[in-house]
Every structure is written in structure tokens, then in C-alpha cells.
Structure 1
């Protein structure tokens, strides 16, 4: 059995930012910068998203965080996907950014809300051509007979929306959108030696956004 003693810098209250947004933003920026310099941070914005299905069973998957501002982290998806169906029935959600090689993680808990259509459209137009096509080609979370079915669907949308070099040559599907986590809690985990890790939790106490220090209480959790 392999054991690793974590040698991170930790996180102490004197170094903590005033709000959960500022602290999370700093760590995300650090991870993105590290991804350009080293190979052990390959997807710095990969975020695990947990929902609850109609039977009450948790379900988790990893997507890419495509939005992050004072309102919370967000991601894009097919609005008929399993995760979207779960959130339409029960909007409670948890998500986590984890950077094992940096000995850091951020956990978000709260309620999911749909991202405004204009924000989704602006993001969609910034995607590579192939990624825009895949939004049309994939009936996300539905069964496929085989790989050939996916390839046939891809060819159909390739012919339907030829590459003209324009950001608008592939329209945003009506069934495609995004979800944002409106947070009630944000926890920062920093790995330390001997498993005596740092865990600092911001818990909502007011109606402000993630950048409003007055809307959050802060407490340290035992590891």
C-alpha cells in the first residue's frame, strides 16, 4: 500500500482572504498557472458535481468549470442529461475542485440555478468548432447502440452545420445550457504532514454573494 505524506503549505487564518470568492479565485488562478508549468495539474478547472436522483441516491461526475465569479462556479451541459434532470427535480448540489499535486481542494455546497441564456450563448460561441458540433451530436446520458451511432450522428451535424470559420456557424441548441452553484458553504482543504490537514469553512449568514465578507462566517474544522 502506497502512502504519501502531504507536504503542502497549509492554510492559516492570517493568510486567508476576506471572502470565499477571493480565496477560491486565488487558488483557481494558482492551479491554472501551475498547469502551464508542470504536468501533474492537467485539468485545473475540472470540477466534480454531485446531485441526487429521484430515489435519493447520490450521483457524481466530473465536468469542466466554465464559469466562476462572485455568483458561484458554473458548468455547461445538455439540459436533458441525467445531472440536469436531477437538478430540475431537486436543485441541491455539491461540487469540488481538487488539485492532488498541490495538496488543495475547494468544496461548494448549495443550490443550482440555470445560467442566463445570454451567458450560455456567449460561452458557446467561444468553443472550438468541434465542441459546438458535439453539443448537437450527443443525446447526453441516453444509451447508444455502439460507437458507430455516435459517429453517424457526428457526420449528420457536420453536414448540417459546415465550418465557415465563423463563431456563429453552429447555433446554440435549445436543449443545451448551464448550471451555477449558489453556495451556502465553501470549504478550503489544504494538505499537511501527518494528516493534520487544514480545513476552513465559510458558511453563509447573509444574502450577499461570494465576494461579500459580511455574508459569511468562518470556522476551522478538525481534519
Structure 2
């Protein structure tokens, strides 16, 4: 009985320490945020609107890997997209057939985009390593949404993730359709990342990009548990995560 009481007291002390932990924004953040414990979720969803990004690591090498200019994404990945699409053409598919496969690959990406954003990037964590990994994956973006060098996915990490996605498509498709489907999915990813950057830093004048920007910033600054689509709100409509308008909220 005494042992149980002692364990409970230690647990309560640990929670109090975690709750009182304060992140020092002047020091590298990644290995600090885990100490926030259960208060991490509240902290990470209180954005700091500044174009200056925080330092993540003491190591200059690891710090370099976390920073990516937006133009690196199309520069690196569009040649890969073209090569993949050309493979299916060389294997005997006509241009209309290949175009259809590419379009389907883009459509598949929009679903992957939604699922990753909703179920992985917004997973709730409270353990030290859970908080740390979540911060690296997506939490940093919600804490510092205007950090222009951490808006797109680092190419090294994207290259690693390409391997299981290629193998998954290869398992489901034929050898000649796999490259075009993968190329379409990769093209969808490029469109997603470039669009995401533009929604934060661009100044759209046309109605469609204006609406997308408003929709995405609404996710950041108003209703962060809805509106998971970036390039469109299609899957939010399908799965019922479309945020209500302010007028509808006031009516309730």
C-alpha cells in the first residue's frame, strides 16, 4: 500500500514538473518540447506569427537538413516525375492512357495528403518522444506557421518515404502502370507542397486561391481540428471535417 502511494506521488510530481516546464525559445527547441508532457498540445497550438524560424538543433548539420527553400521541391522532384511518366510511355502505353494514370495518381495523392494530415500530423501526444517526433513532423509548423524554410517537406525525408509508396503501388499495379501512377502521385505531392507554401506567403488575387488561403489559415488560427485538406476541401466534405463558417458558429 505504501509503495502504491509512493508511486502515485512520484507520478503527480512528474506531471507537475512537466506542466511547469517552460520552453526557452532562444535555445534549440526539438529536445525541449518533449518535457512539456500533457501541456504540449496546448503549447504547440498557440502560434507565433513570425517569418523568423526557431533553431531546432545544436548541430549545424541536422539544422541544415530541417530547412528547405520552396523552389527546391519542383527543382528536385519534377525531373523524377517526368522520368517515371516516360517509363510507362516507353513500356507501350499511349499518351492518353498515361495521362489518365497520372491523373489517377494525383487523385490518390489528395487522399494520402488528407489521411496523413488528419491522422498522423494531428495525432495527440504527451510522452517525451511522442511530443518530440510530432513537433518535428508537424507541430513546428503549427507553432511557427510563417517559417518559410520549414513549410515544405525536406527532400531527404521525402526520398525515404518514396520507397514504401513505390513498393505499395508496385504491389497493386502492373509493371508498366506503376511508374506513371507513382509519377502522378509524386506530381500531386509537388503541387501540394508548392500550394502549401503559397497559401502562407502568397498574396492571391483570384477567387480560387483566395478561398484556399482563407480555408487553410482558418485551420491554423481558428479551428485546428478540422479543415485538413490543403489543395482542396474535397476529402473534408467526404469525411465530415469541413469547418463551419463563422456565421454558422454564431447561429449556434
Q: Which of the five TM-score ranges fits, normalised by the shorter chain?
A: under 0.3
Q: Greater Rg, structure 1 or structure 2?
A: 2
From the two aligned structures, give the one with the greater strand fraction: 1
Q: Give the TM-score taking structure 2 as reference length.
A: 0.25
Q: Give the TM-score taking structure 1 as reference length.
A: 0.27
From the two aligned structures, give the one with the greater helix fraction: 2
